[in-house]
Structures are given as C-alpha cells and as structure tokens.
Amino acid sequence: MKVFLNNKEICVGTRVTVMELLAGQNLHTSNVAVAVNNKVILQADWENFFLSEGDKVTVIAAAYGG
C-alpha cells in the first residue's frame, strides 16, 4: 500500500504500524513526534496504530541548539 511520509510517497506492507514504518525507514524513535492525517499519535500507541492506504504521516524531530 502507499502512504505519504513527510509528503513523500512510499510503499509499505499491507498491515504496517507507525512503529514498523519508522523502523523500516531507519528513523530514530526518540525525540520525535508523529501525526497521521494531522492527528498526533502518542508514542505509547505507535505499536498498535495501523496505517491505511493514503495516510499522511508527519514525523517531526526535536532540534537542540540556540
């Protein structure tokens, strides 16, 4: 199935969780926020939140500095 990760179309399996998507894209899971279709998904729910065809996933990483 196709989903959009930070506005980039990617192909993933048919039953993929947010956690599996992040791992499959080699994205670090610490200090990031994830939204699916503009709804924030709590990190505690990533392992049980399954994506659907055409979902728009936004991953935002915290930046440090001044």
- Cβ pair 56, 37 in contact under 8 A: yes
Q: How confident is the model at residue 9 (pLDDT cuts 50, 70, 90)?
A: very high
Domain membership of residue 46 (yes or no) is yes
- Rounded Cα distance between 60 and 33, Å, is 5
- Cβ pair 61, 30 in contact under 8 A: no
Per-residue pLDDT tens over the stretch 39-58? 999 999 999 999 999 999 99
Domain that includes residue 57, residue range: 2-61
**CATH code of the domain containing 30:** 3.10.20.30
Question: pTM here?
Answer: 0.91
How many separate domains does the chain show? 1
Phi (first) and psi of residue 18, to 5 degrees: -60, -45
Could you identify the residue written with the tokens 């506005």? 7
Q: Which amino acid, residue 56?
A: K
Domain membership of residue 32 (yes or no) is yes
Q: Which amino acid, residue 27?
A: L
Domain membership of residue 42 (yes or no) is yes
* Average pLDDT taken over every residue of the chain: 94
Domain membership of residue 66 (yes or no) is no
